[in-house]
Amino acid sequence: MTDPLAPLLDLPGVTEAVRSAREAVDAVHRHAANRTGWPATAAEASVRAARASAGIDGADPEIPEGGEVDEPVLAGSLRVAEALGPLLPTWERAPLQALARLHVLAAADLVSDPDDLGRPRPGDDVATRLELLGQLVTGATKAPGPVLAAVIHGELLALKAFPSADGVIARAAARLTMISSGLDPKGLSVPEVACYRKLNQYRTAADGFASGETDGVREWLLFSCEAVETGAKEAAGIADAAVGE
């Protein structure tokens, strides 16, 4: 069976970008703070990822001093972040079920009809593309983690499978893919922060991927690998702060 993502590794610069992303994430996993204290640094990374993801979609990413979050996009993003660990086995076994659960969590405060939660929008193209995406997650490709995460992320952004919260869902699915693929098994990297800081470039690259044009797909892959690498630097800062406490 032909690997559907194998040709992506032949695009100029992609193999090198994948290598750099992997090396950056591997390095942060070796950080002294992450050898035994990684649950604390991973928890901080998860919160930063959720805040950045909400910010990308236009929400105020700041958590109020009292800790009670009323902003619906941020509240949903934080719920999603909290659920990723428990949801990982479902993602690996039944990714479409996991995506439905992500929508329930992300969009709970965004829909007027609770029956709309967890339901992809109608259309054969949506069902077909989600099924193909699920096959990638469950073993239809041997593509390295940075490539697979980028494709999952870009495809969900392009497809807009749900009536709301698709951005938060796409970035959460990419995070699950980074963990499940072994790229970032402890969930330490924070590529969401890199995407938030380079928001215009993020959106342009995502549009390029959605176009299906070779150059657009390549630019998205390169941007995604760079975001992982920058996210590893963010993770290193979290680890440095943990050592200094």
The model's pLDDT over 114-160, given as tens digits with 9 standing for 90+, comes to 888 999 998 879 999 999 999 999 999 999 999 999 999 999 999 99
pTM value is 0.96
pLDDT less than 50: residues of the chain: none
Q: Is residue 123 part of a domain?
A: yes
pLDDT at 230 (0 to 100) = 98
Residue 145 near residue 181, CB atoms below 8 Å? yes
Which pLDDT belongs to residue 123? Answer: 80
133, burial (CB in 10 Å: exposed 0-12, middle 13-18, buried 19+): buried
Biggest alpha carbon distance in the chain? 54
Find where tokens 């490709």 sit.
Answer: 141
Domain of residue 23, CATH code = 1.10.3290.10
Number of domains in the chain: 1
Domain that holds residue 234: 12-61+70-244
Residue 7 maps to a domain: no
User: What pLDDT does 52 receive?
Assistant: 98
The CA radius of gyration of the chain, in Å to the nearest whole number, is 17
DSSP state of 122: S
**pLDDT tens profile 100-116:** 999 999 999 998 788 88
Residues in contact with 6: Cβ distance below 8 Å, sequence separation at least 6, in sequence order:
141, 142, 143
In a domain, 235, yes or no: yes
195 assigned to some structural domain? yes
Q: Quick one: tokens of 14?
A: 């992609």
Cα(218)–Cα(9) distance, integer angstroms: 9
pLDDT of residue 112: 79
Place of tokens 């439905």: 100
